[in-house]
A and B are shown apart, each in its own frame.
Chain A
């Protein structure tokens, strides 16, 4: 029977379907985290919808005991937009991969972000096409060797967070599959944000791209190579919390400075302002080894969402016209009567 909201647990969000990802796939950790976090958000299975495209990651909805729609390759943003337009009260999560969301579905993702449809978009970035057995993807680093690029890929990769910002996203965040404390926080923030929330999750594909993110996700380097930004806090990182970002006015770029060196003190370190889009653009494009990989909420600047505006416009027109009457509508303009 349906339990009251406060009594729901992760189990209530797990479907009875056997999970079919490869053992050790990063997707498991994301799934577990989602099942654990939803009860904390006050979500109910009945009111929650997972919409996905095609890919390993896009099998996600089958494992959730909520409503789910496993659609077609790349088109989940469009389907989810329709779901949200039809019923703005539903909690809609969109699950996509780097190929699904940025290759075949790049167009839809761009427009969904620009329109600011109230969807929680999780892009599982494993820098590879997992489901089709390991071809390189639009996020694969140049030189990636894969079945379709035995001599190394030639095209330059795309940065999902920068793409989202460029598309006009009002909420952009990053997290890591193994960051089981960080990820729920980000899910909560994404869920709380009204409008399109874009979350890139670095997800390890143990079979076709194992360890691509090790340069910043491995325990030994994590603290030195990632910067977890928080609104209003100085952007400090490092095992010894002695490094931070400063703004170089000459080059118009961010720079890593060491606290205690060259006269730099903590007060010289830039404070994160998640509402600043210029800063967000700068943060989104930093990457190791010269910079830390920025995780956390990079940008959050709420604005009215598309489906709410659409509903408001519909209601305004309805209020103006009164009860709908097809017969009367057909008879507007010139009519004549034959006796």
Chain B
């Protein structure tokens, strides 16, 4: 494509380029400023430039909060580098603040000496007031610790698009593209992908399309031609070393949806996905709704109870029922989950966790539904719980969860969270040919001997047969009342209830023999200290442990995917470390379960501020723990 040539960045000798290993950029603006789009387009360009990356979209809770207010600030953070990047980064090196509120909310996160890019055009008296600034911060020492780039982006944008006949309001909407153009210049990223994206997105409105492209190019040209001050340097972040293969960027919601569809293909089963919208679980519903060609039926039910019940009904009738929600919705589903456990039907339940209790922090991430997943039902109601740890990981975890649900005839709870759901990372594309098919045994005819017992069991897995309505000779009734182990009919016999409860527990416990042994994510399989995590804390824990080991510290990272049952070797593995830290984004839930199972003496490190762990926070804890270990030993 000839245009690509022109748009690809070329470095000439007059460029002052500073090479960096990694950079954290945070785009922040009003909800209406299009920061999420700007961020995701910057992400695509960064991925195409060959960096490893990780992103963190930080949405406000309000959809359209009053413009200019601090609670309407929307931010998108990206960390990219030439080395492995597993988190969205601790403190931004560069903050783009599109208005005073964005500056107010985000400035304190910027590292000292970092760069702040400001649209002075948005710093009107009114906007300053709305953001709660008494004086204009551009005229106070507030910004002294930072390198500040300020220009009237609003005005420059208006100039760049004046030929396209847009209203003032429409023209100002191109501000984000102008800014993106400048940032792409600053980090030497190509513009081609963004232009292609704009061409498709605005194909039907040519003047908007052309104006946005013009704004993008103008922002880029501004960097190229203007005098940004003698000390100003552009940055270069070299390509990351990555395993050979084909890559794309992916969010957790995407890879989870694709994993569910893939699982359906591997099991050769239609999927019935019943769901009810809730943040941050809705993107999964949206993604799957577009996948009908894979036999994925989506049903937006009237509430979460109907959503899970429809999925249970579908599983009874021979499909794979799947349902998804976030904490409050999972709470509503819990009675029906008990029914699925009692009727022993396959079912996949996804919980995209958010801050709680109650409505809590809908747009902020947390891992506080672990108790709910493991323990949160009436009666003794065990089910497998499995957690994904990164956006890309969701794909495999969805397939694994489906395998367990079908093989053991049980609902399975898959835990993910708001961070994983929305964050993007480069993902090495899997090849479906590498996944074994998932064997499904639907009974198709009665046995020769005696009447059909829907609660007879496979001696190895203890799973009951799946007999689907429509099959002659296998007519049977199931329900939530206790069933006789002998006949499958209703039974109120106390001894039978004991047997059934034992069977339900045994069946799930046996899964421990059918899942991979717990491995060490980084480090050694014994030593002074293990940091144990689960779910989306993978990135910060791994980075912190890598840094600590680089300093020569004896610390390893263990990340648990199978939370119930635990892998068979987990207890023995943990016992091989002198000390164990359990880091999680709740008030200490996994640690309770670990103590319960293994009488483990561990230190709990928790955080529920709605933001992921910072690498530094965990590194500090590791230092502290190993220092005390040293001083204790010295005593």
Chain A residues near B (Cβ < 8 Å): 2, 15, 17, 44-47, 49-51, 61-62, 64-72, 75, 77-87, 89-90, 107-108, 110-111, 310, 313-314, 317-318, 320-322, 324, 326-327, 329-331, 333-339
Q: How far is the CB of B148 from chain A (nearest CB, A)?
A: 33
Known: A79-B312, A85-B299, A331-B429. A68 touches B477 (CB 8 A): yes
Is B316 touching A79 in the complex (CB atoms < 8 A)? yes
Contacts of B311 in A (CB 8 A): 82
Q: Which of B297, B433, B470 makes the CB contact (< 8 A) with A90?
A: B470
Distance of A335 Cα from B245 Cα, bound (Å): 10
Cα A153 to Cα B323 in complex, Å, equals: 39
Are the CB atoms of B47 and A87 closer together than 8 Å?
no
B121 beta carbon closer than 8 Å to chain A: no
Contact of B272 among A50, A64, A70, A82 (CB under 8 A): A82
* Cross-chain contact B261 with A334 (CB below 8 angstroms): no
Given the complex, which residues of B lie within 8 Å of A327, measured CB to CB? 429, 431-433
Cα of A89 to Cα of B469 in the assembled complex, Å: 10
Docked CA distance A330–B248 (Å): 9
Q: 10 smallest A-B Cβ distances: which pairs?
A: A82-B313, A70-B479, A78-B309, A68-B477, A82-B310, A86-B317, A78-B306, A321-B293, A79-B313, A67-B469
B149: Cβ under 8 A from any A Cβ: no
Interface size class of B (residues with CB under 8 A): 35 or more
Proximity bits, B391-435, A CB within 8 Å = 1, else 0: 000000000000000000000000000000000000001111100
Q: How many A-B residue pairs have CB under 8 A?
A: 209
Residue ID in chain A nearest B473 by CB atoms: A2
In this assembly, does B301 line the interface, its C-beta being within 8 Å of a C-beta of chain A?
Answer: yes
**Contact partner of A326 among B246, B265, B335, B338, CB < 8 A?**
B265
Do A338 and B247 have beta carbons less than 8 Å apart?
Answer: yes
Q: Does B270 contact A (CB under 8 A)?
A: yes
Inter-subunit contact B317/A46 (CB<8 Å) = no
**B48 contact set on A, CB distance < 8 A:** 334, 336
Cross-chain contact A83 with B469 (CB below 8 angstroms): yes
Q: Which residues of A contact B336 (CB under 8 A)?
A: 72, 75
Chain A neighbourhood of B203, CB < 8 A: none
**Are A331 and B297 in touch, CB under 8 angstroms?**
no
> Contacts A78-B306, A79-B313, A108-B302: A326 and B297 contacting too (C-beta < 8 A)?
no
Indicate if the CB atoms of B47 and A318 lie closer than 8 Å.
no
Q: A46-B475, A69-B478, A318-B292 are in contact. Are A82 and B50 (CB under 8 A)?
A: no
Q: Taking CB as reference atom, which chain A residue is nearest B49? A: A336
CA distance A66 to B468 in the complex (A): 12
A80-B313, A324-B293, A326-B432 known; A65 vs B321 contact (CB < 8 Å):
no
Task: Answer whether residue B339 sits at the interface, using C-beta atoms and an 8 A cutoff.
Answer: yes
Chain B residues with CB under 8 Å of A337's CB are 244-247
1/0 per residue, CB under 8 A from A, across B198-229: the answer is 00000000000000000000000000000000
Known: A326-B258, A327-B433. 10 other contacts (CB 8 A): A46-B472, A75-B305, A83-B469, A85-B299, A85-B310, A86-B272, A86-B319, A324-B293, A329-B294, A336-B248
CA distance A44 to B474 in the complex (A): 12
B303 touches A107 (CB 8 A): yes
Closest to B481 in A: A70
Complex-state Cα separation, A313 to B295, whole angstroms: 11
Chain A residue numbers with a CB within 8 Å of B47 are 334, 336
CA distance A64 to B475 in the complex (A): 9
Nearest-Cβ distance from residue B216 to partner chain A, whole angstroms: 17
Q: Are A72 and B469 in contact (CB under 8 A)?
A: no
Take A75-B305, A87-B318, A107-B303 as given contacts and tell me if A70 and B480 are in contact as well, using a CB distance cutoff of 8 Å: yes
Q: Nearest chain A CB to B257's CB is how many angstroms away?
A: 10
Bound-complex Cα distance A29 to B366 (A):
55
Question: Considering the chains assembled together, what is the distance between the CA atoms of A17 and B491 in angstroms?
Answer: 11
Smallest Cβ-Cβ distance to B426: which chain A residue = A336
Q: Compute how far the CA of A84 lies from the CA of B318 in the bound complex, rounded to whole angstroms.
A: 11
Which residues of chain B from 452 to 488 have any CB-CB distance to chain A below 8 Å in the complex? 468-481
Which chain A positions have C-beta within 8 A of B432? Answer: 326-327
Q: Counting CB contacts under 8 A, is B44 at the interface?
A: yes
Q: Write out, one digit per residue, whether chain B residues 548-587 have a CB within 8 A of any chain A CB (1) or not (0).
A: 0000000000000000000000000000000000000000
Q: Are B477 and A338 in contact (CB under 8 A)?
A: no
Beta-carbon nearest neighbor of A311 in chain B:
B297
User: Which residues from chain A contact B306 at a C-beta distance below 8 Å?
Assistant: 75, 77-78, 81, 107-108, 111
| Residues on the B chain within 8 Å of A321, using CB | 293
Instruction: State the CA gap A58–B261 with chains docked (Å).
Output: 35
Instruction: Output the least CB separation between B147 and chain A (Å).
Output: 32
Pick from B50, B299, B343, B471 the residue with the most CB of A within 10 Å. B299
Residues on B with C-beta less than 8 A from A70 are: 477-481
The CA-CA distance from A255 to B316 in the complex, in Å, is: 49
Name the CB-closest residue of B to A74.
Answer: B305
Inter-chain contact B295/A324, CB cutoff 8 Å: yes
Q: Which residues of B contact A49 (CB under 8 A)?
A: 317, 469
B335 CB to nearest chain A CB (Å): 6
Between-chain CB contacts (< 8 Å), 29 pairs? A46-B469, A46-B473, A47-B470, A61-B477, A62-B489, A65-B475, A68-B478, A69-B343, A71-B309, A72-B480, A75-B336, A78-B302, A79-B309, A79-B313, A82-B312, A82-B321, A85-B310, A85-B314, A86-B319, A87-B468, A318-B292, A318-B295, A320-B293, A322-B293, A324-B293, A326-B262, A335-B246, A336-B246, A337-B244
Question: Which residues in window 7-37 of B have CB below 8 A to A?
Answer: none
B302 touches A330 (CB 8 A): no
Contacts of B295 in A (CB 8 A): 314, 318, 324
- Using CB atoms, name the residue of chain A closest to B490: A62
